[in-house]
Amino acid sequence: MRIAILSRNPGLYSTKRLIEAVEQRGHEAVVLDTLHCYMNSSSAKPTVHYKGEEISPVDAVIPRIGASITFYGCAVLRQFEMMGVYPLNESVAITRARDKLRSTQLLSRKGVGIPITAFANKPDDIKDMIKMVGDAPVVIKLLEGTQGIGVVLAENEKAAESVIQAFMGLKSNILVQEFIKEAGGSDIRCLVIGDKVVAAMKRQGPEGEFRSNLHRGGTAELVKLTPQERKTAVSAAKIMGLNACGVDILRATRGPVVMEVNSSPGLQGIETATGKDVAGMMIEFIEKNAKPHRTRTKGKG
């Protein structure tokens, strides 16, 4: 098989591991800088061009699309889908997961555990928003944030009001969520491929830090999941429509709650903590499922 990897940086650990896994399983890897791809949308023959040439046919595409280029990256991926190329994750699913509000609403509709979440537009809604999620402390998130950036813990109501007013003053879209105190600054990253959790790790933030992202100095260790946690992670991935993703779960007293579903999870932390060949599992999934014009969402939002 000839497998394209959409990645802005071939030197990243995750990209390098995917290249290795593709080649180790006897396939050809083609790395494409997403922003250097350009497209010809034609009903006769849609094509993708790269650095002055039409890209030779590929059998599958693995999107590693960063949050900052979601719109263009998904447009490129959608073009490959129009050409009948099998995507590990589909453009509609990635767009769905990247929208924190939309993904929260979809998970809520299906009964998956999530933190109590409020969303509003006008500053005169602030006091009621804070009450809706159970009063301070509360977590305030930028809808466009990633890797823990744009996430603030407001310890009291006054601080929460000030932060919310500041974000709204900048015309930023935010969510206000309940703070799961019992999680103790830790979360669980479940790596889901297909219909099962193939690897899981517990991430612990440094002392005094409520965010557990490894990019922010967090540490990772092996963790044993409960059946309910496994079911929650798989359900969240399925609701988003993602074939391969990271589902971040907090252990709350009422059961597991999903914080985020990541369509391009980093591989270094999870492979190091678990010793599992997650990249190889992704390629194995493609081998079993890649067929021309095989998509699940069929363009549905």
Cα distance between residue 299 and residue 270, in whole Å? 31
In order of 72, 82, 98, 198, 278, the CA distances from 203 in angstroms are: 31, 38, 21, 17, 17
State the pLDDT at residue 183. Answer: 84
Q: pLDDT band at residue 299, thresholds of 50, 70 and 90?
A: very low
- Domain parsing of the chain, residue ranges: 2-89, 96-100+182-286, 117-179
pLDDT exceeds 80 at position 57 = yes
Residue whose C-alpha is closest to residue 290's, from 30, 58, 5: 58
State the pLDDT at residue 301. Answer: 46
Fold designation for 2-89 = Rossmann fold (3.40.50)
3-state SS class at 158: helix
State the pLDDT at residue 292. Answer: 77
- H or E stretch at 77: helix 70-82
Cα distance between residue 101 and residue 30, in whole Å? 34
The token pair at 165 is: 């007013």
State the pLDDT at residue 211. Answer: 56
Say which CATH architecture domain 96-100+182-286 belongs to: 2-Layer Sandwich (3.30)
Q: What average pLDDT does the chain have? A: 89
3-state SS class at 20: helix
The token pair at 275 is: 């010793």
Q: pLDDT, tens digit, for every residue of 141-199?
A: 887 655 556 788 898 989 998 988 888 888 888 889 999 888 888 899 999 999 999 99
CATH superfamily of this structure's domain 117-179: ATP-grasp fold, A domain (3.30.1490.20)
Q: pLDDT, tens digit, for every residue of 118-144?
A: 988 776 778 888 888 988 899 998 876
- Mean pLDDT confidence for 103-122: 90
